[in-house]
Amino acid sequence: MNIVLIGYRGTGKSVVADILGSKLGMKSYSVDQEIIEEAGITIPQIVEKYGWPGFRDLETKIVKQLSGLNKIIIDTGGGVIERPENIQALRENGRIFWLRASVEVIISRISDGIERPALTSGKSFTEEVSEVLEQRISKYKSAAHSEIDTDNITPDQVALELIEGTSKN
């Protein structure tokens, strides 16, 4: 059984995946990092060259590959929930945890990040985060087996909650 982390950028997925890997002795995989390795170029370059649909195609390929492994931690990109086939693949051998955070906390955590291109055009950074998050909330909620609000707890505390959540099943 895999542990799958979903949620918007800046909710702590990557940091928590690393902590979980150490605590549980499991290998963690970043879907975004696997996409970069597969493509041989950065995510902004992928989006520039192939558009978001091309990026999502690579993401689906990587998700299906990782879902075929067992006893790993999968740190997904924020938009993995945009394609139902991704969630179906992740659910087959995984317990999905939605790491949530408020728009304000997300902004404070990712405002310096330039590794991802804009998802919308003509919007401020805050407007984009707010708008895209609002569009995705129902998808995150329906995909997840459990959810954890990461606003006011440390990544270590999130990891402990996840460990407790996986031991209940």
Ranges of beta strands (E only) in the chain are: 2-6, 27-30, 72-75, 94-100, 146-149
52-96 tens-digit pLDDT: 999 999 999 999 999 999 999 999 999 999 999 999 999 999 999
**pLDDT higher than threshold 90 for residue 168:** no
Give the whole-number percent of the chain exceeding pLDDT 70: 91
On average, the pLDDT of the chain sits at: 91
Higher pLDDT, 38 or 10: 38
Separation of alpha carbons 22 and 26, rounded Å: 7
The answer to whether 95 touches 3, Cβ cutoff 8 Å, is: yes
pLDDT at 136: 94
91-119 tens-digit pLDDT: 999 999 999 999 889 888 887 655 555 55
pLDDT at 107: 87
Q: Which domains does the chain have, with CATH numbers?
A: 2-167 (3.40.50.300)
Beta-sheet pairing, 146-149 with 27-30: unpaired
